Amino acid sequence: MQFNSPWLQFNRQSWPNLKEDIECDVAIIGAGISGVSTLYFLLHHTDKKIVLLEKNHVASGATGHNAGFACAVMETSIQQLINQYGLEKTKRTYYELDRGWELLLEIYNKLDMQEDFVRINHTNPAYTSVDNLVYAVTQEMLQDQIGRRRGSFLIVDDEKIKEKIPDELRKYIQFVPQEKILKTLKTQDKAYIAVLVTMETAKTARINSAKFCYKVLLYLQKKFPERFFVYENTEITQIDIESSCAVLHHARGTIKTHDVILCTNAYKDFLISDKEQKCSVLKLHESLMIREGYLAAYTGDNSDAYGAAFFDHRGMYESSPYFYVIHTPPSVNEKAGLTILGGPEYYISEDCSADLIQQHAQESFEVGKRFLKNTFNISKDSFDYFWRGIMGYTKSGLRWVGQDPEYPHLWYNLGCNGVGILPAISGGEKIAQLMNGETLLSSLFDPPESIQCHE
Ligand SMILES: Cc1cc2nc3c(=O)[nH]c(=O)nc-3n(C[C@H](O)[C@H](O)[C@H](O)COP(=O)(O)OP(=O)(O)OC[C@H]3O[C@@H](n4cnc5c(N)ncnc54)[C@H](O)[C@@H]3O)c2cc1C
């Protein structure tokens, strides 16, 4: 199957590859939204000379292959976060996501890119099972406790369902006829018994994060022409951590840098070595798990902006415990509305074969068509766009943002990456603040202490 992402359908600038040995203050590896945002804030907050290194082309990773939904959501449940880290730290982590939203708006306004920003005021998670529903309402109650209530649940007015809902959750619920729920979801599938209706003020939008990267780089080239260089088709194969610097290796030479920042998402086909101890640094490689996600999209529906996630416990869509749909009417530069359908995901290994990818693609394609038919009675033989992207997840399920506790020349802005647009941006600002010598409160995103060092 052929892949084509809707986010890369524009005239893209290209940058040269690196052909020689160079020196700089900071080297950023990876030119997706994490790397480009980190560059943006470092240029604004410090006077460092920086290079941005990309093994393919700008936004060729997840940034050019996502669902484009900017939202302040953590993938780990709020209950898990509060149990493990307490209320205050959890609250602060959400603040970091909100900061990503503020910064996104600031950059869109500053660069006059509003035409690529489509607000989606309502996003509706929907449920077929009472157990999943009770869990979701409980999460809403906890969200409320940290001042982040998202909305109210509409639940089918049915005695059997009512009796399973604990009293303390009633405040978040309205019981309604099922038709209202189905209408909200625009579905015909009567298995759905509940939907969360979010508030108008939800911080959610559809953006093209690939275009964002190109526009930000063009802006930075005008504003800071002497302070940074971008090199595409420059793959870093090895990072040597020395006592006073890091040395990066690529096919045609080396880069000597004071600091290196990994914005490499799930990619880990490079070595990190501790030159003093003469050993490999494996923390990142051992922590990161790779997940691939498949998305499909079609054009032509010009109805209002709409977002929903369908949690279906019936097991009808093998690789997808849930599907999400993001629909936007045409923005200024588009001729037709775009409806994006996502869901199928698989854990894969680094050396995942092309055959396995084709098999996953075929399964995802079929399951997506089935979901559309069952949910919206839409029949499709093909999609206008069909694409895949990869995400990196750390073992803790949390992003790493900042300096390595053991190797001060090594920094990260990566990990836990399925909803990664906003944390990539706020992570970039945070790294610039830290490199500028500012002291920040500790965060759940601080890179972990222990380093496993193997001979
Ligand atoms: C299917 C899917 C759907 C998603 N949907 C959403 C969504 O709706 N909302 C949301 O917020 N997030 C979403 N995400 C996540 C979001 O896209 C990512 O979190 C974000 O784009 C990650 O950006 P990044 O810059 O960290 O990684 P990437 O964009 O992957 O960039 C990493 C870059 O590093 C480069 N690189 C790696 N190794 C090297 C090396 N050795 N040398 C040089 N360059 C290297 C790669 O080529 C790549 O370009 C989705 C992701 C996927 C895959």
Relative to the CA of 56, which ligand 1 atom is closest? 47
Ligand 1, atom 41, lies closest to the CA of 236
Segment holding 253, helix H or strand E: strand 253-262
| CA–CA gap between residue 31 and residue 58 (Å, rounded) | 5
pLDDT at position 452 is 43
Pairing mode, strands 306-311 and 410-414: unpaired
CATH architecture of the domain formed by 6-67+208-286+395-454: 3-Layer(bba) Sandwich (3.50)
pLDDT at position 376 is 95
| CA–CA gap between residue 10 and residue 409 (Å, rounded) | 37
Relative to the CA of 36, which ligand 1 atom is closest? 25
143: left (phi over 0), alpha (psi -120 to 50) or beta: alpha
Distances (CA, A) of 327 to 185, 192, 413: 12, 20, 29
Ligand 1, atom 12, lies closest to the CA of 419
250 CA from centroid of ligand 1 (Å) = 21
200 CA from centroid of ligand 1 (Å) = 29
Q: Would you identify the CATH topology of the domain 122-201?
A: 60s Ribosomal Protein L30; Chain: A; (3.30.1330)
CA atoms within 13 A on the CB side of 437: 3
Relative to the CA of 294, which ligand 1 atom is closest? 1
Model confidence pLDDT, tens digit, residues 207-216: 999 999 999 9
Are the CB atoms for 223 and 43 separated by under 8 Å?
yes
Give the burial class of 384: count Cβ atoms within 10 A of its Cβ; 0-12 exposed, 13-18 middle, 19 or more buried: middle
18 CA from centroid of ligand 1 (Å) = 22
Over residues 251-271, the mean pLDDT reads 97
209 CA from centroid of ligand 1 (Å) = 10
152: three-class secondary structure by DSSP: strand
Domain ranges of the chain: 6-67+208-286+395-454, 122-201, 289-393
Give rounded-to-5 percent helix, strand, coil for the chain: 30, 30, 40
Tell me 288's DSSP state.
-
Over residues 164-187, the mean pLDDT reads 95
Query: What does the block give as tokens for 341?
Result: 């359908």
Mean pLDDT score of the chain: 93
Query: What does the block give as tokens for 206?
Result: 């559809």
Relative to the CA of 345, which ligand 1 atom is closest? 1
Q: Output phi, psi for 145, to 5 deg.
A: -65, -25
What pTM was estimated for this model as a whole?
0.96
Residues with CB under 6 A from ligand 1: 29-35, 53-56, 60-63, 65-70, 209, 235-236, 263-265, 267, 270, 293, 295, 342, 389-391, 414, 417-421, 424
Q: Which of 253, 366, 358 is nearest to 319 (CA)?
A: 366
265 CA from centroid of ligand 1 (Å) = 5
Strands of the 117-119 sheet, one edge to the other: 69-71, 204-207, 117-119
| CA–CA gap between residue 173 and residue 136 (Å, rounded) | 11
Q: Output phi, psi for 265, to 5 deg.
A: 50, -125
What's the angle, vertex CA 402, arms to CA 34 and CA 235, rounded to 5? Answer: 50
55 CA from centroid of ligand 1 (Å) = 13
| Residue 19: pLDDT band with limits 50, 70, 90 | very high
Ligand 1 pocket test: which of 4, 40, 63 has the largest number of ligand atoms within 8 Å of its C-beta? 63
Per-residue pLDDT for 164 more than 60? yes
Tell me 11's DSSP state.
-
Query: What does the block give as tokens for 167?
Result: 């009293």
Query: What does the block give as tokens for 200?
Result: 């108008």
Helices (H) and strands (E) in the chain, counts: 10, 23
Per-residue pLDDT for 389 more than 70? yes
Are the CB atoms for 227 and 51 separated by under 8 Å?
no
Model confidence pLDDT, tens digit, residues 277-310: 899 999 999 999 999 999 999 998 888 888 999 9
Query: Which amino acid makes up residue 260?
Result: V
Q: Which of 115-129, 171-185, 396-410, 426-440 has the lowest mean pLDDT?
A: 115-129
308 CA from centroid of ligand 1 (Å) = 23
Residue 217 CB partners (closer than 8 Å, separation 6+): 13, 36, 39, 58, 230
| CA–CA gap between residue 421 and residue 55 (Å, rounded) | 20
